[in-house]
């Protein structure tokens, strides 16, 4: 009966004017994408797990491929969403691009925190997880120095780690849309103002902060564009299969959030957004002062001109604080996410990172 109805509908559509036939087929394709198609495959670059701690895993990519660049790259992602945005799909993967260029690439995946992880602090990530991952990378690659690449909050954590470990052989630092100065973080500054936002009550009530809460806040920065824009664009371009494929990939990642450990969130909002301690040299991690001036490594600091999550001026301020002699700030035409995926990233971000790392590793 369903088959007969479907055939009847197809016959009816064939009697419509050509422009209406196109509209119907486009509408049908949107329905198929939203209701029928399976989730796309992500994170397809070959990898192996070389170290674990609690929920975290350390991956080495394309381990069998010959490495022509002697300084390995360890990527450190944020505490929200899944890190496969750095390896979204073949042809749209920073990790795939760099490994194909002969770089020895590693990724620290924080995993998905459970209720038992609600007491984890930024201190734990900076002083327990990252140092051990760095040592494991150096041993595995048989290297004397390392390049660290931090994306979003991962870059902020990387800066803290580097400032607290000036003795480690960190040759290069790459920061990708990472906030350092929170004196003016756009709407976020107003929303989390301690006069109105009861941070302690939120953390004490929820424990871990649900990914839906974080996603809601990010989307509210541009509500019409973020809530309706993707579907309007899909309806408009549903006859473009390459676009539909990329759309599916992004929607999967956007909806694939992870909880923010409660105590780490309390620190992130309270000490960074509300008190701006990092840039003021007022941040302490387990009694140790975090001074960005302790950073001496070569630095490539990348911001995106359309980024409304880590505004470029939040990112650029780092350049005034570090002691690095070789430091470069680049503003790329992109958004917070499109800086790492899509045609623009392949054209601008990937070659920039590859060339810079190569020049600063030999």
Give the residue from 165, 163, 146 showing the smallest Cα distance to 324: 163
11 Cβ contact partners less than 8 Å away, ≥ 6 residues apart = none
If we measure between CA atoms, which residue out of 84, 310, 299 comes closest to residue 177? Answer: 310
CB atoms under 10 Å from CB of 67, counted, come to 17
Q: Which residues in 80-118 are b (16+ Cβ under 10 Å) and which e? A: bbbbbbbbbbeebbbbbbbbebebbbbbbbbbebeeebb
Cα–Cα distances (Å) from 294 to 38, 39, 241, 291, 322, in that order, read: 48, 45, 49, 6, 7
User: Domain 47-82+118-186+286-359, CATH 3.40.50.1820 — does that match?
Assistant: yes
Q: Which one is catalytic: 87, 104, 124, 307?
A: 307
Nearest residue to 274 via CA among 178, 158, 195 = 195
Task: Please answer whether residues 214 and 312 qualify as being in contact, where contact means their C-beta atoms are separated by less than 8 angstroms.
Answer: no
β-pair partners for 191 = none
For residues 271 and 266, what is the distance between their CA atoms, to the nearest angstrom?
A: 8
Distance in angstroms (rounded) separating the CA atoms of residues 67 and 97:
13
Give me the tens of pLDDT residue by residue for the chain, a chain 362 residues long.
444 455 555 656 556 566 666 777 777 888 888 888 888 999 999 999 999 999 999 999 999 899 999 999 999 999 989 999 999 999 999 999 999 999 999 999 999 999 999 999 999 999 999 999 999 999 999 999 999 999 999 999 999 999 999 999 999 999 999 999 999 999 999 999 999 999 999 999 999 999 999 998 888 888 888 888 888 998 888 888 999 999 999 999 998 999 999 999 999 999 999 999 999 999 999 999 999 999 999 999 999 999 999 999 999 999 999 999 999 999 999 999 999 999 999 999 999 999 999 999 97
pLDDT number for residue 17: 65
307 is catalytic: yes
Please give the model's pTM, rounded to 2 decimal places: 0.92
Active site residue 181: no
Q: What is the pLDDT of residue 220?
A: 87
Active-site pick, 117, 152, 181, 360: 152
Sheet strands side by side (includes 298-304): 47-53, 56-61, 105-109, 73-76, 146-151, 170-176, 298-304, 327-332
Least Cα distance to 26 among 39, 45, 13 occurs for: 13
Candidates 109, 117, 181, 336; catalytic one: 336
């Amino acid at each position: 009966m369903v088959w007969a109805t479907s055939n009847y509908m197809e016959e009816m559509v064939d009697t419509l004017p050509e422009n209406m036939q196109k509209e119907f087929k486009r509408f049908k394709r949107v329905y198929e994408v939203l209701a029928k198609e399976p989730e796309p495959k992500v994170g397809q670059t070959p990898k192996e797990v070389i170290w674990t701690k609690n929920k975290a895993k350390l991956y080495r990519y394309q381990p069998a491929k010959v490495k022509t660049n002697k300084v390995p790259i360890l990527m450190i992602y944020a505490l929200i969403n899944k890190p496969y945005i750095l390896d979204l799909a073949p042809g749209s993967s920073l990790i795939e691009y760099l490994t194909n260029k002969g770089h020895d690439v590693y990724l620290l995946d924080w995993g998905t925190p459970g209720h038992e992880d609600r007491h984890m602090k930024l201190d734990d990530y900076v002083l327990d997880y990252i140092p051990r991952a760095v040592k494991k990378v150096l041993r595995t690659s048989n290297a004397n120095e390392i390049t660290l690449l931090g994306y979003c909050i991962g870059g902020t954590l990387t800066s803290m780690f580097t400032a607290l470990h000036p003795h480690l052989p960190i040759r290069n630092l790459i920061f990708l849309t990472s906030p350092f100065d929170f004196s003016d973080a756009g709407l976020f500054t107003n929303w989390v103002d301690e006069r109105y936002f009861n941070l302690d009550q939120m953390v004490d009530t929820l424990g871990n902060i649900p990914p839906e809460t974080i996603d809601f806040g990010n989307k509210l920065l541009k509500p019409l564009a973020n809530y309706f824009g993707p579907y309007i664009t899909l309806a408009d371009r549903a006859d473009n299969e390459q676009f539909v494929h990329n759309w599916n990939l992004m929607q999967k990642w956007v909806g694939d959030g992870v909880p923010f450990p409660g105590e780490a969130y309390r620190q992130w909002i309270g000490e960074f957004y509300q008190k701006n301690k990092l840039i003021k040299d007022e941040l302490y991690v387990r009694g140790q002062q975090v001074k960005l001036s302790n950073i001496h490594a070569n630095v490539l600091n990348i911001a995106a001109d359309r980024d409304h999550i880590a505004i470029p001026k939040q990112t650029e301020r780092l350049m005034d604080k570090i002691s690095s002699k070789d430091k470069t700030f680049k503003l790329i035409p992109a958004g917070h996410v499109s800086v790492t995926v899509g045609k623009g990233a392949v054209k601008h971000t990937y070659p920039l990172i590859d060339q810079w790392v190569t020049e600063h590793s030999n």
